[in-house]
Amino acid sequence: MRGPDRKATSKTRELRQNATDAETKLRFAVRDRRLAGFKSVRQKSIGPYVVDFLCRERNLVVEVDGGQHAESESDKARDAYLASEGYRVSRSWNSDVLGNIDGVLQTILASLNSTTD
């Protein structure tokens, strides 16, 4: 276990074990540097939040969201916090990941290759 924050580690471990189908599908598509050599980690704590995926070398957070996140004020606050910490956020819908993984991967890759979003 890394770092002193055992509560956050416990939460991230729980989220990894209970991943959605869309998160699992995306995980297999980006793991082991499969997406143009970029490394990503999943369920990573950043401040008070746990993000679905993070590419540290490009400070890109990738979130896979269901319908409950549409127009979410808490997501706006979360995105603002992440931006203040120097992260960019790319969001994809569960249905897009499950039905159009190639399109989602192209969008993520474009964000990874971009210096600004």
The answer as to whether 75 is a domain residue is: yes
Q: How many domains does the chain have?
A: 1
The answer as to whether 76 is a domain residue is: yes
Nearest to 34 by CA among 95, 102, 116: 102
Q: pLDDT per residue over 30-83, tens digit each?
A: 999 999 999 999 999 999 999 999 999 999 999 998 866 567 788 889 999 999
**Per-residue confidence (pLDDT) for residue 3, from 0 to 100:** 55
| CA contacts within 13 A on the Cβ side of 106 | 5
Q: For position 59, which CATH number holds?
A: 3.40.960.10
The answer as to whether 24 is a domain residue is: yes
The answer as to whether 1 is a domain residue is: no
**Confidence category of residue 1, pLDDT binned at 50, 70, 90:** very low
The answer as to whether 51 is a domain residue is: yes
Which residues are 91's β-sheet partners? 63
Nearest to 27 by CA among 35, 79, 46, 90: 35
DSSP 31: G
The answer as to whether 117 is a domain residue is: no
**Confidence category of residue 110, pLDDT binned at 50, 70, 90:** very high
Nearest to 90 by CA among 57, 73, 65: 65
DSSP 50: E
Average pLDDT, the chain: 87
**Per-residue confidence (pLDDT) for residue 8, from 0 to 100:** 59
Which residues are 14's β-sheet partners? none
Whether the pLDDT of residue 4 is over 60: the answer is no
For residue 53, what are the domain limits?
6-112
Whether the pLDDT of residue 28 is over 80: the answer is yes
